[in-house]
Amino acid sequence: MGSNEDIMHEFVLKELKKLYPSVDGWQIKKAKSAGKEQGFIITRRLLGKFEGAFVLVSFDQKISRDTVDSLKAMARDTPLGGAPNPRMILVVPRGTDTAAAGGEVLVLPMQSFGFKDKELIWLKRRSQMSEKVASKAA
């Protein structure tokens, strides 16, 4: 039986697959990551060039320096042979304080989750409910 966090990470994986589709040659693999964050490694070879990125998913409302350090450690400990400058990507819910990420880490806000006040909410569910209400009113 999976936990809520496993299900939430599955939504994130779906989002990553939309951004990095396999039809474009992207491969997404789960990576070893320290702490509660889930890591992914995204790679592809296109026209003889190798591209890659390290992705760390966090559901915290405020990104800490430790989270950024975990992403850097994942990139340092798992070299991508042939990728000259792999990106470091932090995937977070909408409304997350990402000041600690700095300029060296790309921050991608999730489409499925966000913070409303101090509560983590499922945005997809909210938009689906709005669509249902709108279709019933029409």
Q: Where are the domains of the chain?
A: 4-110
- β strands within the chain, DSSP E: 27-31, 38-46, 49-57, 87-94, 106-116, 119-122
pLDDT (0 to 100) of residue 33: 63
Say yes or no to pLDDT of 51 above 50: yes
- What is the pLDDT averaged over residues 40-62? 91
Q: Is-above-0.75 flag for pTM?
A: yes
